């Protein structure tokens, strides 16, 4: 199937998958380290278009066999600091990656971004609203 347009903002309640290399989690690690959530444009796949993340090229070709399932919510979109003020708001949008052969068509239509500075309120919000598992 060929897709050509982005759907824009991703609504609350949707799930995004972030793929992680297993060596990013030291033996015995039970929490996702902040360091893997620091990208200003955190690249993910939207579950709506990637129902089987285990089949993603991120897993099959790049060996990223730990999957972080992030549930989008206002807590991530508008994270609060310890004083209760919104800090470092995030733009969460569908952003299909173009195909090299046909740039007007999407190579990865599930591709999405969580964009904005990833300081502690943001990474804490992502961790609070995520589950991770190993394949």
The pTM of this model reads 0.90
d(CA 135, CA 126): 21
Residue 92: which of 28, 34, 18 has the closest Cα? 18
Helix H segments across the chain? 57-60, 74-77, 120-128
* CB 67 within 8 Å of CB 53: yes
d(CA 65, CA 69): 13
The DSSP output letter for 53 is G
From the first residue on, what is the mean pLDDT of each consecutive set of 10 residues in the chain (135 residues)?
A: 72 97 84 87 97 95 96 97 93 89 78 96 94 92
**How much is the pLDDT for 2?**
55
* CB 20 within 8 Å of CB 33: no
pLDDT tens figures, 2-27: 556 677 999 999 999 999 999 888 78
Output phi, psi for 25, to 5 deg.
-115, 105
d(CA 19, CA 45): 9
């Amino acid at each position: 199937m060929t897709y050509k347009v982005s759907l824009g903002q991703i609504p609350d309640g949707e799930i995004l998958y972030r793929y992680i290399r297993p060596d990013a989690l030291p033996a015995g690690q039970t929490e996702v380290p902040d360091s893997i959530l620091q990208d200003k444009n955190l690249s993910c796949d939207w579950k709506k278009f990637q129902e089987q993340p285990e089949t993603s090229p991120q897993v099959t070709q790049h060996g990223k066999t730990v999957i972080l399932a992030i549930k989008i919510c206002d807590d991530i979109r508008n994270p609060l600091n310890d004083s209760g003020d919104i800090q470092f708001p995030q733009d969460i949008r569908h952003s299909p990656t173009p195909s090299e052969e046909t740039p007007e068509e999407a190579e990865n239509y599930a591709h999405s971004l969580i964009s904005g500075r990833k300081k502690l309120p943001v990474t804490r919000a992502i961790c609070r609203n995520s589950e991770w598992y190993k394949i």
